[in-house]
Structures are given as structure tokens and as C-alpha cells.
Structure 1
């Protein structure tokens, strides 16, 4: 039982008449455990955060996983290589094209046909992957606005993302889970007129992106909610295996499209944006969001160049077969092999173990970027206010289908 604090109110001497609990040195610390999620929208659906608080401040955060099992790895170990593509889509369902690209590229390298993929196929892959990167970043930026109390950015991002969804549905027949990039090629060539419609979208989006920067990135309230919050030091990010916009937000210019130079990315001109602490500290929530917006501009550059290549140098032909290189049974040699690619959220990797006899892999392991990025959450959340935890969580941009796999 606690005693009620007795004091006499004196309007002329507020300091003398203040109750004991106004003196912070006399406060008794009492920790409380809160559960955020797994159904609270601010924790991104199916993530449960066990939060230890002392008043309004975070003592510790423990993420609990396992609410959205995709069972990708066991599915992949029971199916032929070319039958696994639909399951790849369902990990990071916001960036299915990028995930398909990484998986197909890995199997092609094991087969030794990666240098024989037609240039038109490669440019189409890059085109649809960068469109999907834009769509993924739009979700990240829009829902982040919702997390910290702004509704308009979400509506704008969903409006512009819908144009991308319609383009990708036109090419593949599906809105989100595309099954479009196949081992050795593509499901089919781009529809007639796709390049022209895509260029119309690029011209439409440029002024919209400029409006977004003014609406959210340099908005005074947004800056105050995100600057100097959730600072991720570069060495800590590297130690935790953080990648993608989170790592680049901490100042490291590391992008696998440049580091590994896969597909036709070496032939394209684009920059790698990094956080610079423009309004706060390098590696804070603002820097991570800034990097995602800056990457949208770079994706537009890549899309522009890909469309030019597809319409001028690598035009569609009647005899074009997007699956000409692949045998009916895909049987790589006996080996252990790892491939990685730059997804919108970071480094997505696939490890394969094959026996050389079967078209079903012995072992498949996915290196999910969202899993590694989420693992650093406790380190950058201790000591912050409870309201800032949601701002930090939203700046990580996780998809739980990829975390739980």
C-alpha cells in the first residue's frame, strides 16, 4: 500500500507547495511489461513486441516472431527449382519481382547459363524490378506517415503505387505475386505498348515525387518526429548484418547493384544515396526515410535507361523465346552455392545445396534482409520514449512474410 502524498496548495509559492512526486529524485522506478501486437496496426500486423517500460521510457524491447510462417525453405526443398518461383513471391510480397530476380539468377549461375541470358530479357528484368522497388518504397514511406500520425502521404503513395500495380499486372497477369521472372528468362515478353505506357508513368511521377519531399521529408512536424530518433551507428549496423536503406542511412555507400554488378546494372548510370545527418544525426529515422525517397529518384533513372535500351537497341522480335535456355529438368551439378541481390529492403540471399542427381535441391536457405534489420531494433530503442518506438519500428520497413519465411 502506498501513502497518499499530502501537500497544501499555495498559488503564491508553487515550488514550495508542489507535491513530492514533482521531485524526480524521489520517484520510485517501477518497470512494466507491455505487449504491442501482434494485431496492432502500428507494429505492422503480425509482429509482437514485448516492451519493458519505466514510465514513458523504453528499458528493453523483445521482438517475438512466428505469426506468419511462409515455410518457404521446406517448400523449396520439396519442389523442382522452376516450381519454387511462386513461393519466392510470398516472402516479401511487396517486392516479388526483386525476389524472383535473385532466385532465378542464382539457379542460372549454378547451371552456368547466366552469361547467355538475352539482353532484352535482362533489361526487362531490371525494368520490372525497379518498378517493384518504387512500389515497395511507396508502401514504406506511406505507411510510415500513418505510423507517426500523417494520413495524406499514405493516400498519395497508394494512388501512385496503383499505377505501378496496373503496369505489372499487365505484364504478368497478377497484381502482387507475379511469377514473371523465370529461370532462364521470363514468363513472356512485355505486352505491345508497355514501354510507351511506362514512360507516361515516369513523366507523371516526377512532379509527384517532388511534392512528396515537401509534404513529408522536409515537413517540420515530420522532421521533429524523426530527426535524432533511433540512431543506428554504422559499426552497430554492420555487426548486426543490417543492409539496404537502413545501412545506407547510416552513411555506408553499399549497394549490391554496384558492389556485385549483377545483371545489366553495370551498364546503367545511377547513384547510391546515403544518409548525411542533414537535419539530425547520421543514421536516424529521418535519414532512413530520406534514403528511400532518394532511391525512388534513382529507380526512375534506371527505368528511363532500360526503356531506351528496350525501344532502340534490344527491340522485340517475332522469334524471341524468353525460355529458350532452360532444359525440362533443371539439374545443377553437386555444389553449395550462395547468391545475393539488392532488394528494396536490403540484401536478399539464397543458399542452395544440390546433389547433382535430382531437380529438387537438398537444402535451400533464404537470407532475409528484414530479419537482420529487425534484429537491431532493441539496440536502437533503449532509452527512447514509448511514442518514439513506433517511429523507429516504422523506419525499419519490415515484411513479416520474409522474417518468418
Structure 2
């Protein structure tokens, strides 16, 4: 069967041609093609699944991307490095602070100023990034529970996510698209009293995560819907370039905060959870969800330790200027450069090509973790039931702004 997308035209049913991989003559007697979606709240018009079924059993799934088209890379190739940050926010718009951290760190390394960034700035970046990681996982966990029939967890997650968005809004004035982490520094220092208020929130959140585990992860119905469903073997995950909870759920303890040790993460004590097949097979939907819940606990530990540093060794001073290291003109040497960081959904990487004459990159390429994770959906779904496909899609936790960039 050819992998080339063919076009099927039926004038009696439609006025335009619809791209399809499978033509009727290529299907076996009992097989049929269903178009599922776009129905998911985060895939409104930008993802359609072409599902080949044999009765209730899935034979193959082919994802078709729609038209969100952020055009990030072409925008970036027409702007100076410092003006690209707002466009970075709009890739994974649920975790914009993490994306900013990855991009800014890459430019700083390229300029050779990474080690000159004050420790207070680095700890503030880690606090904001981990708060945003929590907010991202809350969206993933809440919407996933709702996808498979549980409404209460979504309300609880949105309630606690709202607290995080208010904290981030207090810092920079924006709730989702921040432009807060700048090359060489920050837009603002933390507001007076932020550290204490954030610690209060962390203490409030710890028992709420226990409630989340009891309500969702340990729930008998949730286990039945996710255990042994959408199993992603570790070799397959590696071959597809899956990263983040998708990869760790398959059993590989791989986290760039540990592997690459960027920013101040080497000075912070935290663990990297992996899927262990506790309720089914290693790498199933339950394992991926469990990894995200445990990562929320680890993010709480990271924020707590970072706030202690900000209130102790690196407390605010009257002469502290978060923009003191911000370069007035960014003109790197001619080179090819790649940097990566651990986003809530996996490895986010940026490739830059510069000519040494301009502050505008000749080429800017984003390595989007959601794109690679989504590409494995065919392997995840083969042999599953149609009813399980929604559970499999939700366990990937993708944002289409990053996929269709």
C-alpha cells in the first residue's frame, strides 16, 4: 500500500475533494474508514483522525493536521532575537513560560553569557517555569478525566490552575502569554510579597494533589479505562522521538533538567518518575497519567526549594536590576546552534543559524515535542477499540499550536 496521500472525489456526496490515505479498493471486506474529530476542546478544527476499523477494532489511525499555522519559524526569521519571545509564547500556549525559558537560554548560550546571569534571576525563572508546568499538567489531567467521563476533576484542576495564573499575572500582568523571561534577564523583578504568597499556595496545593490521586489515579473506573490501553513500548517511543511523560511513562528515566543540568536545576533536589506498569503494562495510558501526577509533586518540591533560596541566599536588594544583563544589541557570530529544554510535554528545541552580520536569525527551527508525540498515535491505537481512541488521544497531552507551528 502506498504511503502517498491520494485524493478521492465523489461528486454525488461532496463538492470538494477530501484527502485520504485509504481508497475503497485497498480495504479488506470488513474494513471501513471513519473520520473522527475534530471534537476535542484543544483540537478545534486543527486535527482530524482518519481511522481504519475492522468492526470495533482499530486497524490504523492517520492524523491529518488542520490550519492553526502559527508560522512561528517564518516570523522568527524576520525579527531580531529579542522580539521573537512573544511568538515563542504562542507555540505551547498552555506552558508559555517554559517555552520562553528554553528559547532565552538558547540565545544566551549562543552569545556566551549564560554563566553571567545572576542566580536570583535563574531561581525566579525556575519558579515561574515550574508554576507553569503545574498549570500545564492541571489542564492535561483535568481535561483527560473529562474526556473519559469524569467532570469533577476538571473543575478542581481549573480551580487550582486559576491560582497559578493569578500568581503569574501578578508577576508580569499576563495570564497566559507572558513575554516575561528576557534574553539576559527578566522584564520585572518579583513583586514584594510574592515569595510568601507563593509558599502559601504550595502548602495549600500539597493535600489537593493527594485528593487528585484518590479521585482520579486510584479510581477503579479510571484504571479500567486506561490500564493496558494505548501501550507504547519503550523502543517504539524512542524510534518516534517521543519525549516528556510519553517517554518516561514507557519506563525511561530521561529528563533534560537532569540530563543537561541547565539553569539551577543541578542545585535542586527532585526525582524523575517513570512508568512501572503498576496497573497494567508499562507505557499504557495509566502510566502516562501517573507520571504527570507525580511530576506535579516534584514541581512543588522544586518551587519550594527555589523560594527558600530567593528568601535566603538570593533575596531582593534595592540595587537589583533584572535588566542589567540584557544586551542592547544581539549580534552572534556566524554559526549553527541548537538548544533544548524540558517542557511539560517533552523536549522543546530551537535551532538557530546566524550569519554574524545581523541580529535576525537566517534560520530558526523549533523542535516541537507535541509533534513527535502525536506521530506515534498509529502505533498506540492499532488493535484498540474505537471507544478507547479518545482515551489514547487524551493521554498524549498535545497542544496544536506547537504541532502546526
1:338 is aligned to 2:338: yes
Question: Shift of the alpha carbon at 1:89?
Answer: 0.3
Q: Which residue of 2 aligns with 1:245?
A: 245
1:404 is aligned to 2:404: yes
**CA–CA distance in structure 1, aligned partners of residues 138 and 88 of structure 2:** 21
Give per-residue Cα distances to partners, 1:171-230, cap 9 Å, x unaligned.
011000010000001011000010011001001001110000000001000000000000
Give per-residue Cα distances to partners, 1:257-309, cap 9 Å, x unaligned.
00000000000000000000001000000000000000000000000000000
**CA–CA distance in structure 1, aligned partners of residues 242 and 205 of structure 2:** 30
1:35 is aligned to 2:22: no
**CA–CA distance in structure 2, aligned partners of residues 364 and 219 of structure 1:** 45
Q: Which residue of 2 aligns with 1:231?
A: 231
Larger radius of gyration: 1
What is the aligned residue count? 377
Q: Which residue of 1 aligns with 2:61?
A: 61
1:296–1:167 CA distance, 2 compared to 1 (3 A): same
Question: Shift of the alpha carbon at 1:380?
Answer: 1.2
SS at match of 1:87: helix
Give per-residue Cα distances to partners, 1:381-404, cap 9 Å, x unaligned.
011100101100000000000001
**Structure 1 segments of 4 or more deviating over 6 A?**
none
Q: Which residue of 2 aligns with 1:165?
A: 165
**CA–CA distance in structure 1, aligned partners of residues 327 and 213 of structure 2:** 48
**CA–CA distance in structure 1, aligned partners of residues 76 and 43 of structure 2:** 26
1:320 is aligned to 2:314: no
Alignment of 1:203-282 (within 5 A): 203-282=203-282
Alignment of 1:82-121 (within 5 A): 82-121=82-121
Question: Shift of the alpha carbon at 1:59?
Answer: 1.1
Q: Which residue of 2 aligns with 1:44?
A: 43
SS at match of 2:166: helix
SS at match of 1:94: coil
SS at match of 2:365: strand
Question: Shift of the alpha carbon at 1:42?
Answer: 6.4
Q: Which residue of 1 aligns with 2:365?
A: 365
TM-score, scaled relative to structure 2: 0.92
SS at match of 1:199: helix
TM-score, scaled relative to structure 1: 0.92
**CA–CA distance in structure 2, aligned partners of residues 128 and 327 of structure 1:** 22
Q: Which residue of 2 aligns with 1:8?
A: none
Give per-residue Cα distances to partners, 1:109-150, cap 9 Å, x unaligned.
011000000000000000000000000000000000011111
Asked whether the equivalents of residues 42 and 147 of structure 1 are also in contact (C-alpha less than 8 Å), the reply is no
Asked whether the equivalents of residues 182 and 326 of structure 2 are also in contact (C-alpha less than 8 Å), the reply is no
Q: Relative to structure 2, which stretch is displaced further, 263-272 or 62-71?
A: 62-71
Question: Shift of the alpha carbon at 1:327?
Answer: 2.5
Question: Shift of the alpha carbon at 1:29?
Answer: 4.5
Alpha-carbon RMSD across the aligned residues, in angstroms, is 1.0
**CA–CA distance in structure 2, aligned partners of residues 48 and 195 of structure 1:** 44
**Structure 2: gaps spanning 5 or more residues:** 1-27
SS at match of 2:336: strand
**Structure 1: gaps spanning 5 or more residues:** 1-27
SS at match of 1:41: coil
